[in-house]
Each structure stands twice: as structure tokens, then as C-alpha cells.
Structure 1
Amino acid sequence: MDATVLLVRSPLPGTAIGLRDVPDPVFAQAMVGPGAAVDPERGPLTAVAPIAGTLVKLKPHAFVIAGSDGRGVLVHLGIDTVNLDGAGFELLATEGAEVEAGTPVIRWNPAEIEAGGLSPICPVIALDAEPAAVDQVAAGAIEPGVTLFQWTG
């Protein structure tokens, strides 16, 4: 089988960090899957699609996009933000929509999340991937649309 490389792009501006630095053991231990995270800039931001595909799950605090090859990427906006019941998040897309990389999906304010006592760090996860399938992970300052990691599969 020919291994194709999927470039997973940053959904937010900020600082790219490794999953081990995410303050949540489920993400830090890659239980959901391998990937990377973004410590976002503080202030109002728009999270954009990291890959092209179908928006298969859309919640106020997280979304999953499945590419045409079936690989899914999860973007989770902050840690434990599910407990906010959508407060502070504005959906800009619709579940089931076809999106391009860079399509606006959710507007939110990481500074407000942090002021509320939660971490605004955003894991970006290659769902159902083997750890070795993710490489070329970015580190340091990153902008939306810049490759966060490569997923070979």
C-alpha cells in the first residue's frame, strides 16, 4: 500500500507544543491518538479547519474533520471546555459540511477560557493513528495554515 502524507495544519495562531505538555492525561498520553497541540494567542480567535474534508462532528468546544481518505482529525479547543456547555463559543460552520483547510469553524476567546480557570491549550489529534504515523511535528510560533504535523498512512 502506498503511504500518503496528510499535512495537518494549525487551526490557530500561537505556539506549537508536544502532546506531552498538554495539561490533561488523556491527551498527554496520546490515548485519543498522536498529534500535537497549540497554545493559542490570547484574545478573540477563529479556529479553522486543519485539513480538507467533511465536518463529521461539531460541538462548541471541539470538531472532527474526516478527509476523503477517511482519516479524521480532532481539534479540541481548550481543556475541560465541554463543561462550559457552549458558553463562549460561536459555531461558524455546520456539521456535515464539506470544508477546505483554512475554513473558519468556531470563534472563541482563549483569554476568557483562561480567566475562567481552564487551560486554553488546543490538542490537534490524528484519530485512530499509530504513534509512528505522526512526524515532522512543529515547535514554537505557528500561524493558521502552517503545517503542525505530518500524518503518514
Structure 2
Amino acid sequence: MTTVLAPVAGSVIGLAAVPDPVFSGGLVGPGTAIDPRRGAAEALAPLDGTVFKVHPHAYVIVGADGRAVLVHLGIDTVRLRGEGFRVLVREGEQVVAGRPVVAWDPAAVEAAGLSPVCPVVALEARPEALRALAAGMVRAGEELFLWD
């Protein structure tokens, strides 16, 4: 079993509420989403593992068991071309759950006319493999869901 932590603090809204059909339709994979608190923050590693891919607006961490979790910081934020984001790790680097990966400001994303909602997706997982999804408010680093 893999415990996936909340990479950001905010309100858990679920993937169905993400304003992007690729995420809300579960096309990327199952998971949940967080509407983050506004203000400068650091997005954290959701599990222990290796930084497989890191962009200013999104990253994938792969655990020792091969399970990969995607964290996407906002919707369509690739359009910001990295502005307002600061990558704090390198691809291939080992990280522990809770380590800061990207510094960003959800309020700046919103001010740019984009949604700051953060999908957290278990890549290549079956929907029924996820359980104990958090609800309501979460703090960064708290348990978000379990992946059987």
C-alpha cells in the first residue's frame, strides 16, 4: 500500500470538479484535486521516491514500488511558461514525502486568469485501487489517499 500525501494545503474538491475534461474525466488516472490556499507556497513531494519528471507547473514522483503520482499545479499553467514557479529539485533526484518540489503562488495563477486547482493523480492505477480519499480541508503533507 502506498500513502499519498497532499502536496498543497487547501480544500479537497475531487477530480470531477477540475475545470479540465482530461482530469475530470479520469483520462490521466484516478486521484483527487485540491483547491489550494492562496498565497506563496511550496508544493511538496506526495510520496518517497525519485523525481521522474519536473516542469515548473507539474511533476511526477515514482516510488520504490514503481507507482507514480502526478501533481499538476493549476490548470493550463503550462501557458505561463514557468513564470511564477521555481523548481526546487532535479529530475532523477531522490526525495522524501513532504519535501518541497516547486515554489509557486496560486493567487498569481488565478490573477493570470487560470485555475489554481491541483489534480493529484495515481498514474496507471485502477480507480478501485484508491481509498480513504481525504475530504474537506487538508494541510500540505497530510494523508490525501491510499493506493492499494
Question: What TM-score do the two structures reach when normalised by structure 2?
Answer: 0.98
Structure 1 unaligned runs (5+)? none
SS in 1 for 2:27: coil
Cα shift readout 1:89-141 (whole Å, capped 9, x = no counterpart): 00111111000000110000000100111000000000000111111111111
- Which residue identity lines up with residue 128 of structure 1 in the other structure? E
Which residue, out of 56, 59, 80, partners 1:60? 56
Instruction: Give 1:96's aligned amino acid.
Output: G
2:86 paired with 1:90: yes
Q: Which of 103, 109, 113 does residue 107 from structure 1 map onto?
A: 103
Q: Deviations over 1:50-90 (max 9, x none)?
A: 00000000000000000000000000000000111111100
Residue type of the partner of 1:132? E
Q: 2:140 aligns with which of 123, 140, 144?
A: 144
Q: Structure 1 residue runs of 4+, over 3 Å off?
A: none
Question: 3-state DSSP class of the match of 1:105?
Answer: strand
Q: Equivalent pairs: percent with the same residue?
A: 55
Checking the alignment, whether the CA contact within 8 Å between 1:35 and 1:125 is kept in structure 2 is yes
2:29 is the alignment partner of 1:11: no
AA at the equivalent of 1:22 = V
Residue identity in the other structure for 1:36:
T
Could you state the TM-score of these two structures normalised by the residue count of structure 1?
0.95
Partner of 1:125: 121
Q: What is the RMSD of the two structures over their aligned residues, measured on CA atoms?
A: 0.6
Corresponding residue SS for 2:128 = helix
Residue 134 of structure 1 is matched in structure 2 by: 130
Q: Establish whether residue 51 from structure 1 lines up as the match of residue 47 from structure 2.
A: yes
* C-alpha contact (below 8 Å) 1:17/1:138 kept by paired residues: no
Structure 2 residues without counterparts, runs of 5 or longer:
none
**In 1: Cα distance, 2:130 partner to 2:85 partner:** 29
2:37 is aligned with 1:41: yes
Distance 1:68 1:34 in 2: 20
